[in-house]
Amino acid sequence: MLAIAYGCVLIAAVLPYLWVAIAKSSGERYNNRNPRAWQARQEVPRSNLANAAHLNAFEAFAPFAAGVILAQLAQVPADRIAALSVAFIVFRVLHGLMYVGNRHALRSLVWVGGLACVVALMIMAMLRAGMPAS
Protein backbone atom coordinates (compact mmCIF):
# COMPACT_ATOMS: atom_id res chain seq x y z
CA MET A 1 0.00 0.00 0.00
CA LEU A 2 2.80 2.44 0.72
CA ALA A 3 4.03 1.90 -2.84
CA ILE A 4 0.77 3.51 -3.99
CA ALA A 5 1.39 6.53 -1.77
CA TYR A 6 5.00 6.80 -2.95
CA GLY A 7 3.81 6.58 -6.55
CA CYS A 8 1.43 9.45 -5.82
CA VAL A 9 4.34 11.50 -4.45
CA LEU A 10 6.16 10.86 -7.73
CA ILE A 11 3.11 11.91 -9.75
CA ALA A 12 2.74 15.06 -7.64
CA ALA A 13 6.42 15.86 -8.24
CA VAL A 14 6.01 15.52 -12.03
CA LEU A 15 2.61 17.20 -12.33
CA PRO A 16 3.97 20.78 -12.45
CA TYR A 17 5.90 19.88 -15.59
CA LEU A 18 2.73 18.73 -17.33
CA TRP A 19 1.11 22.13 -16.75
CA VAL A 20 4.21 24.06 -17.83
CA ALA A 21 4.40 21.97 -21.01
CA ILE A 22 0.83 23.06 -21.77
CA ALA A 23 1.77 26.68 -21.01
CA LYS A 24 4.77 26.56 -23.34
CA SER A 25 2.84 24.92 -26.16
CA SER A 26 -0.11 27.30 -25.90
CA GLY A 27 1.60 30.64 -26.48
CA GLU A 28 3.78 32.06 -29.20
CA ARG A 29 6.75 29.95 -30.30
CA TYR A 30 8.62 29.08 -27.11
CA ASN A 31 12.01 30.70 -26.52
CA ASN A 32 14.21 28.98 -23.95
CA ARG A 33 16.74 31.83 -23.74
CA ASN A 34 14.66 33.67 -21.14
CA PRO A 35 11.63 31.54 -20.21
CA ARG A 36 10.25 33.86 -17.53
CA ALA A 37 10.32 36.88 -19.82
CA TRP A 38 8.76 34.74 -22.57
CA GLN A 39 5.92 33.73 -20.23
CA ALA A 40 5.40 37.33 -19.10
CA ARG A 41 4.83 38.36 -22.75
CA GLN A 42 2.17 35.75 -23.41
CA GLU A 43 -1.29 37.05 -24.15
CA VAL A 44 -2.90 33.66 -24.75
CA PRO A 45 -5.06 32.99 -21.67
CA ARG A 46 -4.47 29.22 -21.81
CA SER A 47 -0.70 29.75 -21.58
CA ASN A 48 -1.01 32.02 -18.56
CA LEU A 49 -3.56 29.77 -16.83
CA ALA A 50 -1.43 26.67 -17.40
CA ASN A 51 1.59 28.53 -16.02
CA ALA A 52 -0.43 29.45 -12.92
CA ALA A 53 -1.44 25.77 -12.53
CA HIS A 54 2.26 24.88 -12.85
CA LEU A 55 3.24 27.25 -10.02
CA ASN A 56 0.36 26.10 -7.83
CA ALA A 57 1.32 22.45 -8.34
CA PHE A 58 4.82 23.23 -7.03
CA GLU A 59 3.28 24.97 -4.01
CA ALA A 60 1.11 21.94 -3.23
CA PHE A 61 3.88 19.37 -3.57
CA ALA A 62 5.93 19.98 -0.40
CA PRO A 63 3.03 19.83 2.08
CA PHE A 64 1.71 16.68 0.40
CA ALA A 65 5.07 14.91 0.41
CA ALA A 66 5.59 15.94 4.04
CA GLY A 67 2.14 14.63 4.94
CA VAL A 68 2.86 11.23 3.40
CA ILE A 69 6.24 10.99 5.15
CA LEU A 70 4.86 12.11 8.51
CA ALA A 71 1.96 9.68 8.28
CA GLN A 72 4.30 6.82 7.47
CA LEU A 73 6.70 7.73 10.30
CA ALA A 74 3.78 7.87 12.72
CA GLN A 75 2.65 4.44 11.49
CA VAL A 76 -0.71 5.58 10.19
CA PRO A 77 -2.28 2.55 8.48
CA ALA A 78 -0.90 2.25 4.96
CA ASP A 79 -4.35 1.90 3.39
CA ARG A 80 -5.37 5.29 4.79
CA ILE A 81 -2.19 6.93 3.54
CA ALA A 82 -2.70 5.37 0.10
CA ALA A 83 -6.37 6.40 -0.11
CA LEU A 84 -5.63 10.01 0.82
CA SER A 85 -2.68 10.08 -1.58
CA VAL A 86 -4.78 8.87 -4.51
CA ALA A 87 -7.52 11.36 -3.61
CA PHE A 88 -4.93 14.16 -3.49
CA ILE A 89 -3.69 13.29 -6.99
CA VAL A 90 -7.23 13.19 -8.35
CA PHE A 91 -7.95 16.60 -6.82
CA ARG A 92 -4.68 18.04 -8.15
CA VAL A 93 -5.26 16.79 -11.69
CA LEU A 94 -8.78 18.22 -11.59
CA HIS A 95 -7.35 21.45 -10.18
CA GLY A 96 -5.00 21.83 -13.13
CA LEU A 97 -7.74 21.00 -15.63
CA MET A 98 -10.06 23.54 -14.01
CA TYR A 99 -7.23 26.11 -14.05
CA VAL A 100 -6.47 25.61 -17.74
CA GLY A 101 -10.19 25.53 -18.51
CA ASN A 102 -10.69 28.81 -16.60
CA ARG A 103 -13.31 27.29 -14.27
CA HIS A 104 -12.38 29.31 -11.20
CA ALA A 105 -15.19 28.21 -8.84
CA LEU A 106 -14.62 24.50 -9.50
CA ARG A 107 -10.87 25.07 -9.32
CA SER A 108 -11.22 26.48 -5.82
CA LEU A 109 -13.47 23.61 -4.78
CA VAL A 110 -11.03 20.91 -5.88
CA TRP A 111 -8.14 22.89 -4.37
CA VAL A 112 -9.91 22.63 -0.99
CA GLY A 113 -10.28 18.87 -1.55
CA GLY A 114 -6.54 18.49 -2.10
CA LEU A 115 -5.76 20.61 0.93
CA ALA A 116 -8.14 18.50 3.03
CA CYS A 117 -6.18 15.37 2.06
CA VAL A 118 -2.90 16.95 3.18
CA VAL A 119 -4.41 18.19 6.44
CA ALA A 120 -5.91 14.75 7.11
CA LEU A 121 -2.52 13.07 6.58
CA MET A 122 -0.86 15.47 9.00
CA ILE A 123 -3.59 15.25 11.64
CA MET A 124 -3.55 11.45 11.53
CA ALA A 125 0.24 11.53 11.93
CA MET A 126 -0.04 13.94 14.84
CA LEU A 127 -2.69 11.85 16.58
CA ARG A 128 -0.77 8.60 16.06
CA ALA A 129 2.46 10.19 17.30
CA GLY A 130 0.69 11.14 20.54
CA MET A 131 -0.51 7.60 21.19
CA PRO A 132 1.45 5.42 23.60
CA ALA A 133 3.41 2.59 22.00
CA SER A 134 1.62 -0.73 22.08
How many domains is the chain built from? 1
Q: Which residue has the higher pLDDT, 1 or 121?
A: 121
90 part of a folded domain: yes
C-beta of residue 81 within 8 angstroms of C-beta of residue 68: yes
The predicted structure's pLDDT at residue 134 = 56
For residue 131, pLDDT over 90 is answered with: no
134 part of a folded domain: no
20 part of a folded domain: yes
What is the tens place of the pLDDT at every residue in 36-57?
899 999 999 999 999 999 999 9
For residue 31, pLDDT over 90 is answered with: no
124 part of a folded domain: yes
The predicted structure's pLDDT at residue 102 = 96
114 part of a folded domain: yes
Q: pTM for this one?
A: 0.93
**Cα distance between residue 118 and residue 96, in whole Å:** 17
Of 124, 129, 46, 127, whose CA–CA distance to 79 is shortest? 124
86 part of a folded domain: yes
32 part of a folded domain: yes
96 part of a folded domain: yes
For residue 121, pLDDT over 90 is answered with: yes
Q: Which CATH number covers residue 77? A: 1.20.120.550
**Cα distance between residue 30 and residue 37, in whole Å:** 11
Domain with 78, as residue range(s), is: 2-129
